[in-house]
Structure 1
Amino acid sequence: MKSFFVTGTDTDAGKTVAAKALLDYFAGERLSTLAMKPVASGCFNQQGRWVNDDALALREAMTMDCDYSLTNPYSFEQAIAPHIAATEENIEITEQVLVGAFNDVRALKPDVVVIEGAGGWELPLSDTLSMPAFVKQTNAEVVLVVGLKLGCLNHAVITERAIRADGMRVAGWVAVDTQSREMPYREQNIATLTRRLTSPCLGILPYTPDWRGRDLSTYINDFCR
C-alpha cells in the first residue's frame, strides 16, 4: 500500500481538488483507493453526526468504502483553526486517535490512501501536537498543493523546505487555479515554481467550478509506477 499526504501552501490552496484528482488518477490506473480528511472544521450535521463537505467529496472519489469516522475522525462545526475549534468543544485532538484511524483504513487493504490535510503544513492540532507528527506515523509521501495566486512562490519554496526539514519525502507538487480570474503572469509563475522547487510537478489543475463531478485524472502526470 502507498499513502500520499496532500498539504497546501496555505488554506484554500486547492487541496481537496488536488486530492480528488489524485484519487481519479489512481482509479484510472485500476488501483483501489481510500481517502482521509483526519481533521476538519466547518462541518454540518447530517443524520446526527458532524460531516465535512471536503471529506464527503473525497469519499465520492475513492473506489472502496469505509465508515465516515475513519475518513474524518475529528469534525468540528466552526470554520476556524481546528485546535481552537477542538478547545471550544472541549475535545483534545490526539495522535493516538489519528494514527488508529489510519491503521484501520490501512487494514482494509487499499492499494492507495490519499490523506488531505487542513490549512498548511505546520497546522497546530493542540498545544503540543502538529500535523507533521501524524504524517510521520503514516510514512506517507507528501504532495504539495500550490494555489496559483500572488505570494505562492515564497509560500511554496518555504513549505517544501519545511517538509524536507521534518524528514518527509516530497512526491511532488500540484498547481491549482483557485479563482475564475487567471493569475497575472500565470505561466511565468509556473515556470518559476518548476525552477525553484526541487520536487517534480505532478500536475496543473485549471479552475474547474464543477470539479466534484468531473474526472480530473487527465491533469495528473504519470508518477505512481
Structure 2
Amino acid sequence: MSAFFVTGTDTDAGKTLVTSGLLTLARRRGLTTLGLKPVASGCEATPQGLRNADALALQAQTRPPLPYATINPFAFAPAIAPHLAARRAGVRLALDALVDHARPLLAEQRDLSLVEGAGGWRVPLNGDEDLADLAVRLGLPVILVVGLRLGCISHARLTCDAIRADGLRLAGWVGSLVNTAFAEDDALYRENLTTLAATLPAPCLGVVPRLAAESPAAMAAAAADHLELPAANSG
C-alpha cells in the first residue's frame, strides 16, 4: 500500500486538482484508489445532505467506490476555516475522531490512498490540535502542493520546515499554477521552478498548468497528464 497526506502552501493552492489527478493517474494504471477529505467547509445543501465539491471530486476517483460520508465525514456549510465552521455548527472537531475514521480505511491497503487536508499545514481543528496532527498520528509521508504565485518559494520552504519539525517525510511536491500572470515572464517562471527544485528536499512530481474550468473529472484527467505517482511506501 502507498498512502500519503496531501497539503498545500495555502488555501486554493490546487490540492484537490492534484489529489484527484494523482488518483486518476493511478486508475489509468489499473490500481485501486482511495481519496479522503476528512474535513471540508464550504459545502452545499443537497437532498442527500451537505456536499463539498472537493470531496465529490475525490469520491469520483475512488475505486472501488465508497459512500460520500466515508470520503468526507465532517462537512460544514460556511466557506471558512474548518474549526470556525464546526464551532458555528455546534461541533467540536477532535483529532481522535478523524484518526478513528481514517485508520481502518487506510488499512484496506488500496494501491494508492491520499488523505487531503484543508488549507495549509497548520489549519486548526480546535484550540489544541491541528489538521497536521492527523498526518502525524497516521504516520503518513506528505505531498506538498505549491501554489505557484508571488511568494511561493518562501511559503513552500516554511511548510517543508514545519513538516520536518513534525517528524514527517516530504515524499514529493507538485507545482500548481494558480496565477497565470506569474508565468507571463517565462524565464522568471522557470527560474522560480528551478529554485523550488533546488531547495525542496523531495522530488517534483509534476507542474500542473492553469486548466480551463471543465467538469471535475475532465480537470482531473488533464492534471494527470502532468503528474507522476510518488514512490511506493508502506504507509
- TM category (shorter chain) comes to over 0.9
TM-score by length of 2: 0.90
1:37-48 equivalence runs, <5 A: 37-48=37-48
1:146–1:176 Cα contact (<8 Å) kept: yes
Verify the 8 A CA contact 2:2 2:113 in the aligned structure 1. yes
Instruction: Give 1:139 shift.
Output: 1.9
Q: Which moved further from structure 2: 46-55 or 182-191?
A: 182-191
More moved, 84-93 vs 101-110? 101-110
Q: Is the 8 A contact 2:170 2:202 kept in 1?
A: yes
Using the TM superposition, give the Cα deviation of residue 191 of structure 1 relative to its aligned residue in structure 2, in angstroms: 0.7
Matches within 5 A, 1:197-216: 197-209=200-212, 210=214, 212=216, 213-214=218-219, 215=221, 216=223
Q: Percent identity?
A: 39
Q: Number of residue pairs matched?
A: 225
Instruction: Name which of 213, 225, 228 aligns with 1:218.
Output: 225
Change over 3 Å in CA distance of 1:201–1:50 after alignment to 2 = same
CA contact (8 A) 1:177 1:207 kept: yes
With structure 1 as the length reference, what TM-score do the two structures score?
A: 0.94
Q: Which aligned pairs between 1:1-225 and structure 2 lie closer than 5 A?
A: 1-183=1-183, 184=185, 185-209=188-212, 210=214, 212=216, 213-214=218-219, 215=221, 216-224=223-231
CA RMSD of aligned residues (A): 1.6
Q: CA deviation at 1:82?
A: 0.6
Q: 1:127 to 1:145 in 2, by over 3 A?
A: same
Q: 1:144-203 deviations in whole A, cap 9, x for unaligned?
A: 000110010000001011101100111010000113444342111101101111111111
Q: Is the 8 A contact 2:177 2:209 kept in 1?
A: yes
Q: CA deviation at 1:96?
A: 2.0
- Which ranges of structure 1 fall in alignment gaps of 5 or more residues? none
Query: Structure 1 residue 70: deviation in Å?
Result: 1.5
Is the 1:177–1:206 contact (alpha carbons within 8 Å) kept by the matching residues of 2?
A: yes
